[in-house]
Amino acid sequence: MNRFFIPRDWITADEVSISGSQARQIFSVLRLKTKDHIIVLDNSGWEYEVEIERVTSQRVQGKVINKALGNTEPEIKITLYQALLKTDKFELVLQKGVELGVSSLVPFISERCVVKKPGENKLTRWKTIIQEAAEQSERTLLPVLHPVISFQEACEKATVSSSILLWEEEKKLRLVSVLRSPTFKNSSALDIFIGPEGGFPSSEVDYAKSKDIVVASLGNRVLRAETASLAVITAILYEKGEFG
């Protein structure tokens, strides 16, 4: 069934009214009709099954016929601090990160970033990618895209005692050891830092350490930045029993 995140005030008692681009999509692209069912989500964790009663390209109206709490949200809340990457790589991380199960995303600018700070159009596009990935993967909470900040601001924003920066030059401390350490093993939220294509310079790694961010290795193979992001998210979810 097609799923749509909509503003909470579009649902009143058991009536739902959808306008804008989602109405156009339902009418013109999906060509849904009266009596067809959709799922709407108000970002509360609830899923509302809706039977369509009226549909035009401007407005879709329907009745809630069932309401259930979703079960697709991981208990572990992962915030991905991702250095800006070239557009296609960054968008891959957004889409796949949301499918896999991140809770929020903080783009940051690191010394070796080769791309500029995104404009309004790009931010709007990124939010659309996140929303579509959340709908496609059947999530019930919409991951949050935070504003782009500097690496230093990101380090200050990160949660003390539950932040990990992955660095290809770290050769001793493995991610698995960090996740199973006393400090981290019962964490209900984790902040993960992934660098840009050229990696973190050691000055940034030192700065992160000064803010109590733990620096860890992913193992022996050298991963591209976007691959590292998706693999770390997967490994954390697997470790916590939330994937696989």
- Closest CB to a second copy among residues 132, 153: 132
Q: How far is the CB of 195 from a second copy (least distance, A)?
A: 16
Record the tokens describing residue 63, joined without a space: 């009745």
Q: Using CB under 8 A, list all residues that contact a second copy.
A: 71-72, 92, 96, 99-101, 136-139, 174-176, 179, 218-224, 227, 230-232, 234-235, 237-239, 241-244
Q: How far is the CB of 9 from a second copy (least distance, A)?
A: 27
* Strand bridging mode 149-150 / 11-12: unpaired
- Closest CB to a second copy among residues 10, 243: 243
- Closest CB to a second copy among residues 60, 232: 232
Q: What element of type H or E holds 51?
A: strand 46-55
Between the alpha carbon of residue 84 and those of residues 49, 149, 162, 176, the distances in Å are 37, 10, 22, 26
Q: How far is the CB of 1 from a second copy (least distance, A)?
A: 12
Here the contacts of 45-48 (C-beta below 8 Å, separation 24 or greater) are 45/69, 45/70, 45/73, 45/140, 45/141, 46/70, 46/140, 47/3, 47/140, 48/11, 48/16
Q: How far is the CB of 72 from a second copy (least distance, A)?
A: 4
- Closest CB to a second copy among residues 35, 221: 221
